[in-house]
A and B are shown apart, each in its own frame.
Chain A
Amino acid sequence: MDGTAIPRLGRGMKLREDKTRNQWVVMGPERMFVPDEIALEVLRLVDGARSVDAMVDDLAARFAAPRGEIMTDVVAMLDDLTAKGVVTA
């Protein structure tokens, strides 16, 4: 996935709050993922409209971190989530 890609949640994937366990989960067909804090920040920005570049800009501003590093991490995370079917581009 590159900077211009526009990721969205995969078919049937839903990000929702699990109040019983005090966490956020991605619910999918017979699958459930519990994103860590950073993955959750990324997933919250996956809306089918924002590009990866725009997501990285947002995160770099909010976390005051070098854009290049964030881009590397976000792309790796999105590639992993794509392989799992959580995200598609």
Chain B
Amino acid sequence: MTTIPARAKTAAPAAPLALLAELTHRCPLRCPYCSNPTELARVAQELDTATWARVFQEAAALGCLQVHLSGGEPTARRDIREIVRAASEAGLYTNLITSGVLTGETKLQALVEAGLDHVQLSVQDAEPGSADRIGGYRGGHARKLEFANRVHEAGLPLTLNAVVHRQNLDRLPQLIDLALELGAGRLEVAHVQYYGWALANRDALLPTRDQLEAATATVEAARRDLRGRLVIDYVVPDYYAKRPKACMGGWGRQFLAVSPAGRVLPCHAAESLPGFDFPNVREVSLREAWEHSEAFNRFRGTAWMPAPCQGCERAELDWGGCRCQAFALLGDAAATDPACVLSPHHAVLSLAVGAAAGAGEGFTYREPRKDPRHGGPMAEASEGAQG
């Protein structure tokens, strides 16, 4: 009689489509809604070039078609050119998600030659003074515009990623104009998602309902007028939604992320969830992490779902919403996302909207944890591997 290993009893999950490679948490900008965890990884913890190259090969073999090279600021890495080349050689469609402020003409040309397919550039606002204040980086906006022009001249497709909130949403028409001026083929209008740094700044960032309705009308009109010229991605923010979003297309269904220190995550924010032992690419293959780790299987499918998700006709449409939001707002990652009207805790969202109304505009900027042995994030960038 033979013993069948437990894993052989369950079919392998469908293959992921995309890998988010968070190459570093270092970044010259200090956006108060940064999606990095509040506990930032240090440079000494970062994966080396050869490990990333192996991760890209494993991702392609697993079925990933594209990689998003992100951070922090991915170009803060000295080996960004080798990393882009490794991703491209693995056969992945290679997207650089960048603030643009660290990439001059020479570096951009090197990335193009290394096989970069697409650039996604963040902007903080359409108005330079406000943009620099939100990003916490003086002169940043002007450098972004120069970078965007260089991307266009290099023949690369450009997506402009505008993170929107109360303090810039009124300038959405100008952000759309900016996307057109810069030759972007695509504009992503991304409402802030409130966990981590953004949750700490929620009162200063949550838009009003009037702002939201105006923005939605602006997007609808622009989509009509600019059809064939500019693709606009836009999703209504959770705080004004009746149903949750299918976060990441469902936990462990289409997407995986690798953190700067090598942890394999179902979403880039999941690292902040307590009670998880996330697999690390230093110890296991990406396939092992994707198919067999407890972390990926915990919220996969529908069996884990509580009421009212269990048996809901939308269970396989929204997959219970966002685990990180459930934890951030309710302290329970296994709860129904409170963005759903059927959640018994749906009122926490409207209470937050009420609390933010009339609140101040000051930010808690993203900063590395104070440590006397280290300077700021850019000090680490210039010190290389000493950090």
Among B118, B156, B227, B233, the one with the most A-chain Cβ atoms within 10 Å of its Cβ is B118
Any chain A CB within 8 A of the CB of B301? no
Tell me which residues from 8 to 54 in chain B have a Cβ below 8 Å from any Cβ of chain A: 15, 17
Known: A82-B228, A85-B185. A30 touches B95 (CB 8 A): yes
| Cross-chain contact B120 with A30 (CB below 8 angstroms) | yes
Any chain A CB within 8 A of the CB of B274? no
| Cross-chain contact A12 with B15 (CB below 8 angstroms) | no
A residues within 8 Å of B by Cβ? 10-12, 14, 16, 18, 20-21, 25, 27-32, 82-85
Q: How far is the CA of A29 from the CA of B120 in the complex (A)?
A: 8
Residues in A whose Cβ lies below 8 Å from that of B305:
none
| Cross-chain contact A27 with B93 (CB below 8 angstroms) | yes
Q: How far is the CA of A11 from the CA of B233 in the complex (A)?
A: 18
For B, the interface residue count at a CB cutoff of 8 angstroms equals 23
Residues in A whose Cβ lies below 8 Å from that of B231:
31, 84-85
| Cross-chain contact B65 with A11 (CB below 8 angstroms) | no
Q: What are some 25 contacts across the A-B interface (CB < 8 A)?
A: A10-B185, A11-B156, A12-B117, A12-B156, A12-B157, A16-B65, A16-B93, A18-B65, A20-B15, A21-B63, A27-B65, A27-B66, A28-B157, A29-B117, A29-B157, A29-B185, A30-B120, A30-B186, A30-B188, A31-B231, A32-B65, A83-B228, A84-B231, A85-B185, A85-B231
Give, as a whole number of angstroms, the nearest-CB distance from B163 to chain A.
15
Q: Closest residue of chain A to B159, judged by CB?
A: A29
Known: A18-B65, A83-B228, A85-B231. A11 touches B15 (CB 8 A): no
Q: Closest residue of chain B to A20, judged by CB?
A: B63
| Cross-chain contact A29 with B65 (CB below 8 angstroms) | no
Q: How far is the CA of A4 from the CA of B226 in the complex (A)?
A: 25
Give, as a whole number of angstroms, the nearest-CB distance from B189 to chain A.
13
Any chain A CB within 8 A of the CB of B358? no
Residues in A whose Cβ lies below 8 Å from that of B65:
16, 18, 25, 27, 32
Known: A30-B120, A32-B65. A11 touches B93 (CB 8 A): no
Give, as a whole number of angstroms, the nearest-CB distance from B133 to chain A.
28
Residues in B whose Cβ lies below 8 Å from that of A28:
118, 157
| Cross-chain contact B185 with A12 (CB below 8 angstroms) | yes
Residues in A whose Cβ lies below 8 Å from that of B66:
27, 32
Residues in A whose Cβ lies below 8 Å from that of B117:
12, 14, 27, 29
Give, as a whole number of angstroms, the nearest-CB distance from A58 to chain B.
26
